[in-house]
Amino acid sequence: MSTRRHFLRASGAALLGSALVSKVAQAAVPEAPIQTTPDTQPPLAPPDGRHYQPVVTLNGWTLPWRMNNGWKEFHLIAEPVRRQMAPGMIAHLWGYNGQSPGPTLECVEGDKVRIFVTNKLPEHTTIHWHGILLPSGMDGVGGLSQPQIPVGKTFVYEFEMKKSGTFMYHPHADEMVQMAMGMMGFIVVHPKNPNFMRVDRDFVFLINAYDIDPGSFTPKIATMTDFNLWSWNSRVFPGIAPLVVRKGDRVRVRMGNLTMTNHPIHMHGYDFAVTCTDGGWVPKSAQWPEVTIDIPVGAMRAFEFDAIYPGDWAFHCHKSHHTMNAMGHNVPTMIGVDHRGLAQKIINLVPDYMVMGERGMADMGEMEMPLPDNTLPMMTGTGPFGPLEMGGMFSVVKVREGLARNDYKDPGWYKNPPGTVAYEWTGTAPQAPRIAGAHEAGVTVRARKPGGHGRH
């Protein structure tokens, strides 16, 4: 991590905006640390203030703060950033402190926070604090609750964190552009009582989406529904970090949706309880079990589970186009079409012509297709048994025995105990029972007796 000490020393108070900072005019602006790697950073144990179990931001980090006369002070810098969405692809986005999404802000119920926001974008901005109970004039809606933050200026937001929970921040200025460019971040307010809803591991990420033409770097900002990169924290599979969990841990996952469609997020291997929304904690008596949780637009959800089943458990959006990257979404359906003769004719004219999709599209997971620069394959990634044929919103929850308490390193692939992996049948295949429909009169099919299947 590097800091902006140099920038701050050079620019000093000259950058501060008007009368808004009079209350803190004599104090220097706090440092604005930046993060330059997209790797998941270890949780930031609170160096001062009340104790809490810090969160882990997938492919992200928590912003350090300083205490100043009872105020917790943060400094966010809105600025253009370069984000690696997965190895092999860089996006030119807008974000905060070197990354999109911006750093996670963590504080404790009852904290008085002062957040400095410096605008280094080419246009004005604001920040809205989604879900936080605060004075109307601190709500960050440009034109409604405050003047926009002009280019080069710093504004100050001050409020008390009245309740604990799961929140986020994003601009409320030229919103269509600034959200499409990746400006957003996570806010976690920990309960005053560290034993309230206590968990051992607490993961957070924002669900976002981009429309970046293959071969280009900058998102198209006017796209309404037809995005081609469905991401978590501006990362796509295989760039999304695994959620590494110690067997026996109580685990929470918090997600916020800042795209323009819903995302049914599905976790394999477990059922879980829905325990928090951006409105607050769900009382125990009202928590409900799920294996898929639909996250509406502009909403946050948290779920919890006891990590009792070791394994590599897929964790993904259940909209199948959201687990695909760019390229190929407009390929026509060719399943069942015998185009061998046709292909030969085309190859005479176009020697590189490639037939796609005749037997489904699984071939694309292995195919070495020529791609434009800075473009990810549509289906990619390799697991212990071969190509995963995924992209977009896909990761793996890796539950392992014997990890250290604070160990979030990728433990590699799960070693399945002998006899617990699906295997090829080498005997005589059992006949699948069929029931004849009326139109199949004349074909007599009887279901086999229970217990009589396939044992010879």
What residues make contact with Cu ion under the rule CB under 5 A?
263, 317, 319, 322
CB of 80 to Cu ion, least distance (A): 27
Q: Which residue type occupies 164? A: S
The DSSP-derived string for 316-354 is EESSGGGG--SS-TTPPP-TT---HHHHHHHHHH-TT--
Strand order in the sheet with 243-246: 243-246, 394-400, 311-317, 263-267, 292-295
Closest approach of Cu ion to the CB of residue 393, in Å? 5
CA distance 160 to 139: 12
CB of 263 vs Cu ion, minimal distance in Å: 3
Q: Which is nearer to Cu ion, 20 or 265 (CB)?
A: 265
The separation between CA 92 and the C-alpha centre of its own chain, rounded to angstroms, equals 18
Query: Minimal distance in Å, beta carbon 264 to Cu ion?
Result: 7
> In DSSP terms, which residues pair with 327 in a beta bridge?
none
Q: How far is the CB of 262 from Cu ion (least distance, A)?
A: 7
Which residues are paired to 168 by β-bridges? 130, 186
State the minimum distance, in angstroms, from the CB of residue 257 to Cu ion.
Answer: 9
Work out how close the CB of 229 gets to Cu ion at its nearest, in angstroms, rounded to a whole number: 12
* CA dihedral sign of residues 450, 453, 455, 456: positive
What length does the chain have?
456
Nearest to 257, CA basis, from 300, 293, 210, 287: 300
Measured from the CB atom, the residue of 192 and 266 that comes closer to Cu ion is: 266
Measuring CA to CA, which residue among 234, 402, 255 is closest to residue 315? 255
Q: Which is nearer to Cu ion, 159 or 203 (CB)?
A: 203
Sheet architecture: strand order including 128-130:
105-108, 185-190, 165-170, 128-130
Identify which of residues 62 and 257 has a Cβ nearer to Cu ion in the complex: 257
Cβ at position 210, least distance to Cu ion in Å: 13
d(CA 214, CA 339): 27
Per the CB < 8 A criterion, the answer to whether 76 and 155 are in contact is no
d(CA 287, CA 281): 9
Nearer to Cu ion, 4 or 322 (CB): 322
